Amino acid sequence: MTHPHPPETFGARLVETSLATERVRLMTFEREGGPFHFRAGQWVNFHFPLKDEKGHPLHRAYSIASAPGGTSRFELAITHVNAGPGSEFLHAMRPGEVLEARGPQGTFLRPLDAPAPALFVATGTGLAPFRAMVHDAIAAGRKERLWVLFGVRTPQDVLWEAELRALEKAHPFFRLEVTLSRPPPDWGGRRGHVQEHVRALWAELAALEPAPDAWICGVKKMLLEVRDVLRKELGLPRARVHAESYG
């Protein structure tokens, strides 16, 4: 397995940006000065020209949503948090503007030499590292089952839906299961939170695959509840449950 690249500080120039949902902005940056080497699952830390509540420079972490491609570009998905200084700064950025970044960082990494099949559980922009991992696995020619359980409020909140549905058609080992916490009356899919669906989906995957891993990413409350189901109820060992908390 290749080792993660050491983090470095660089200028991240915003190349393009669009609103994917009411609250989530997709943002493509490029690293000034050359290619950005990272691994799927890693994140960058932005150093904002702002101070936090203690008067220290404001830093915030963002998972890279694109797979490594040897270029200077990387994509992020940013949830707008009301009165949140970091996310509001990012949502207000215009193409051409540059922000100081430090990365790549993090150890939320699937080994590429012998990765286990995976159940990825995400809410909101917690999907970002899993999008990177799925594209990375496909680019590496992997065929183990990769299933995503993705929780959002409404059908309009599903990120990268057309892209992920196309991947499902092209690669039967990939599956996207969406659950909505505020479904419209005519919604025929899963309802409620990811916590309510993880048992059944895990059982289905574990019946097909010898030893899948579970991966969880998103806000802390969801992450802890899903982890409790997997570890305490279903008895998965610690080493097979990977989690990245957005706080």
Ligand X SMILES: Cc1cc2nc3c(=O)[nH]c(=O)nc-3n(C[C@H](O)[C@H](O)[C@H](O)COP(=O)(O)OP(=O)(O)OC[C@H]3O[C@@H](n4cnc5c(N)ncnc54)[C@H](O)[C@@H]3O)c2cc1C
Q: Which is nearer to ligand X, 117 or 129 (CB)?
A: 129
Stretch that binds ligand X, among 74-82, 144-152, 163-171, 174-182 (CB under 6 A): 74-82
**d(C-alpha 86, C-alpha 78), whole Å:** 10
Shortest CB 56 distance to ligand X, Å = 13
Angle formed by the axes of helices 128-139 and 161-170, to 10°? 30
What token pair was written down for 25? 């902005």
Shortest CB 25 distance to ligand X, Å = 9
Within 45-122, where are the H helices? 85-92
Shortest CB 217 distance to ligand X, Å = 8
Give the phi and the psi of residue 66 in degrees, each rounded to 5: -105, 155
- Subset of residues 16 to 45 that bind ligand X, contact rule: CB under 6 A: 43
Stretch that binds ligand X, among 58-66, 94-102, 132-140, 172-180 (CB under 6 A): 58-66
Q: Is 242 in the site for ligand X (CB under 6 A)?
A: no
Shortest CB 143 distance to ligand X, Å = 27
Inter-CA distances, 228 with 199, 224, 243, Å: 11, 6, 12
Name the residue number minimizing CB distance to ligand X.
Answer: 84
Stretch that binds ligand X, among 59-67, 95-103, 158-166, 235-243 (CB under 6 A): 59-67
Which of 103, 124, 151, 212: binder of ligand X (CB under 6 A)?
124
The residues, any chain, with a CB within 8 Å of residue 12's CB and separated by 6 or more, are 29, 30, 31, 32, 44, 46, 98, 99, 100, 101
Which of 62, 120, 174, 202: binder of ligand X (CB under 6 A)?
62
The residues, any chain, with a CB within 8 Å of residue 238's CB and separated by 6 or more, are 231
Which of 85, 155, 181, 183: binder of ligand X (CB under 6 A)?
85
Please name the amino acid found at residue 122. A
> Which among 117, 125, 118 is positioned nearest to 91, based on CA atoms?
125
Q: Is 66 in the site for ligand X (CB under 6 A)?
A: no
Stretch that binds ligand X, among 95-103, 121-129, 163-171, 208-216 (CB under 6 A): 121-129
| DSSP summary character for residue 23 | S
Positions in the binding site for ligand X (CB under 6 A): 43, 60-63, 76-79, 81, 84-88, 106, 124-125, 128, 219, 244, 246-247
